[in-house]
């Protein structure tokens, strides 16, 4: 393996629950009381796609999506990188190609980039809407891989959701599960490895 493409939420940052509680609050404003466990399927998906599946119209989605982002901020006050992740990325970046594929839209990513400083670690970033189709399709991963000039056989996608696993399979690249967020299950069956801590990423170049 010489190319590593990463998801953000639940993979690099410990922030998944914040967005779920934000969505729950937004839905309640629109008269829908939904339990958190019934919203976990939205993890890893572009927000606009999730809202469409939740029944909002194309006309409603921009406003509701903005509400979701604002509502989530109250639950994202203590978000941090997972332990040792930045040091591991810096080490990997000295020898290998690193990319980022996220379901965040561009304004969302740019706002978070100012706070968490992703850009120095990655040679390319693909946000929601850049590829023809968002995750769970493999288009964003394929776009990142092509930008990096990498082969299918040498590329691995690292994520924490079934959406990530599906996207990797659709892009015909290997998948490694961020086990610090999501335990292994058939829905997130890795094609290569389950990672338990950030340092496990350093073992991936020898796999495949």
What pLDDT, in 10s, does the model give residues 163-191? Answer: 899 999 999 999 999 999 888 888 787 78
Q: Is the pLDDT assigned to residue 130 strictly greater than 80? A: yes
Least confident of 45-59, 64-78, 154-168: 64-78
The pLDDT score that the predictor gives to residue 69 is 82
The residue length of the chain stands at: 208
pTM of the model: 0.81
Q: Is the pLDDT assigned to residue 154 strictly greater than 80? A: yes
Higher-confidence residue: 181 or 87? Answer: 87
pLDDT range class, residue 93, cuts 50, 70, 90 = very high
* Chain centroid offset of residue 28 CA: 25
Q: Is the pLDDT assigned to residue 208 strictly greater than 70? A: no
Least confident of 81-90, 139-148, 179-188: 179-188
């Amino acid at each position: 393996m010489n190319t590593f493409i990463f998801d953000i939420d639940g993979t690099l940052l410990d922030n998944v629950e914040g967005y779920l509680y934000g969505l729950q609050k937004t839905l309640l404003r629109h008269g829908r009381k939904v339990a958190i466990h019934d919203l976990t399927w939205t993890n890893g998906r572009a927000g606009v796609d999730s809202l469409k599946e939740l029944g909002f119209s194309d006309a409603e989605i921009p406003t509701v999506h903005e509400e979701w982002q604002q509502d989530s901020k109250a639950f994202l006050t203590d978000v941090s990188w997972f332990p040792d992740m930045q040091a591991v990325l810096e080490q990997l970046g000295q020898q290998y190609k690193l990319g980022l594929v996220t379901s965040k839209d561009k304004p969302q990513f740019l706002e978070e980039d100012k706070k968490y400083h992703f850009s120095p670690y990655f040679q390319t970033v693909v946000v929601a809407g850049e590829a023809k189709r968002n995750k769970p399709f493999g288009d964003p991963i394929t776009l990142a891989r092509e930008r990096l000039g990498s082969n299918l056989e040498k590329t691995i996608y690292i994520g924490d959701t079934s959406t990530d696993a599906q996207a990797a399979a659709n892009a015909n690249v290997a998948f490694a599960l961020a086990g610090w967020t999501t335990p292994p299950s058939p829905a997130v069956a890795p094609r290569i490895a389950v990672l338990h801590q950030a340092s496990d990423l350093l073992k991936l170049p020898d796999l495949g």
